[in-house]
Amino acid sequence: MASPIQTFKIYGKTAGGSLTIPLGAGLTNVAIANAFRRIGDFFQSIGIGTRSGNIVCQANGVAAAGVITFSSIANNDTITINGTVFTAKTSGATGNQFNLGASDTAAAANAAVAINASATAIVSNVVFASSSGALLTITAKEQGSIGNLMTLAISAHGSVSTAVAGGTDGTVTALAKGI
């Protein structure tokens, strides 16, 4: 079994001081080497005093998720994610709309595509969607308990079957120098 993708994040207090480095997920050896070089340069600049740092390292957090179950979803029913409304349409969906298709399974798949393609920052930068059968899963892109603050609703013909939850911060270590 392949190991899960691990994310190691470093947040710096100064401009240009933030790195988010995904480890795994098909990165080439060169990309991984460059990522670690950037991390080393970042810490070196703090260590030699050319930059002050207030650093929080987070590892092995879990992203929050919620699930909507479609049940005979109909034209103009809506899904709301973090205040952004996605509307079901019989055909011709554009923007934050999705086509119903022939079944709730098709509607859930179409909704996931529309959510993932959304140009609305509070959605595109914060969540990603997937579907399985008539279930639409909304998962925070950011690991940690912050994802538990996402909001999720459906207007009719379905339910939020699993409230947004499960986000954990993992191991968090704070370091400071020169502040």
Residue 67 phi, psi (nearest 5): -130, 135
Which pLDDT score is estimated for 28? 59
42-55: b or e for each residue (b if 16 or more CB lie within 10 Å)?
bbebbeeeebebbb
Contact indicator for 60, 173 with CB cutoff of 8 Å: no
Neighbours of 133 (CB within 10 A): 12
Banded pLDDT at 58 (limits 50, 70, 90): confident
> 57 or 145: which carries more pLDDT confidence?
145
Pairing verdict, β 97-99 and 84-89? parallel
* pLDDT per position as a tens digit, 64-94: 999 999 999 999 999 999 999 999 999 999 9
Banded pLDDT at 14 (limits 50, 70, 90): very low
Mean pLDDT of 134-157: 92
* pLDDT per position as a tens digit, 117-136: 999 988 988 999 999 999 99
